[in-house]
Amino acid sequence: MDKFYLEKILIEKLKEGDKSAFSFLFNAYYTDLVLFANTFLKDQDNSEEIVQDVFLKLWEEREVIIFTSTLKSYLLKLIQNRCLDWLRHIKVKNSYYELAINSLPLLECDTEHYILRSEIENIIEKTMTKIPFELSDTFKLNRYECLKYREIAEKLHISNRTVEDRISKVLKILKEELRDYFITIFIILSTLFW
């Protein structure tokens, strides 16, 4: 049987919700896709996480996805985009981290900045007590214990997507709670670095 014809049949079965078709496609493409992701990320765990997320997206959106090429080409493109997004995210995160680390000694020497930092930490702590435990627990595992989404998912027996959604919700809540402080923080950082 022609492999393109077989793939077409599997895609039709997938769209109908056939789990065995999904498992077959997952097993057929998973290893190659992880290797492909790893060429971008140079990180096996994150490569596997991205491929698993892409397969999860494939399953969740199976009924509405329109393929203009082969399934493997479609998955490769999705993975490439996710890897590039991940690399951009890491670059931004690292630049903010360096900025924070480099500015901490300056901020800690100044009483006003220390008070501001304490207020912000208090707001974050209070917010953590007000939101549902599953949200705060997931957030703390990521931000305070530095666990990756995959590690949190395994520890809490939930999907990576659920971890991502929970952390996103907490960040939105914190953004709202800390909205009055953003301008002050920006002004402080501007005076330190301009």
Residue range 125-157, pLDDT digits in tens: 888 899 999 999 998 888 888 888 889 999 999
**Predicted local distance difference test score (pLDDT) of residue 1:** 56
Whether the pTM exceeds 0.85: the reply is: no
Q: Is 5 left (phi over 0), alpha (psi -120 to 50) or beta?
A: alpha
For residue 88, what pLDDT is reported? 83
Residues 12, 106: Cα–Cα separation, whole Å = 61
Query: Is pLDDT larger for residue 142 or for residue 100?
Result: 142
For the chain, the residue count is 194
Residue indicated by tokens 């960040």: 171
d(CA 36, CA 133): 37
Confidence of residue 20 (pLDDT cuts 50, 70, 90): very high
Domains plus CATH for the chain? Answer: 3-85 (1.10.1740.10), 110-193 (1.10.10.10)
In this structure, what token pair is assigned to residue 193? 């670095």
What per-residue confidence (pLDDT) applies to 109?
Answer: 47
Q: What is the mean pLDDT of the chain?
A: 81
How far apart are alpha carbons 180 and 162 in whole angstroms? 29
Q: How high is the pLDDT of residue 188?
A: 53
Local confidence band at 110 (pLDDT 50, 70, 90 cut-offs): low
Burial 117-149 (b: 16+ CB within 10 A, else e): beebeeeeeebbeebeeebbbbbebbeeeebbb
Distance CA(90)–CA(168), nearest Å, equals 16
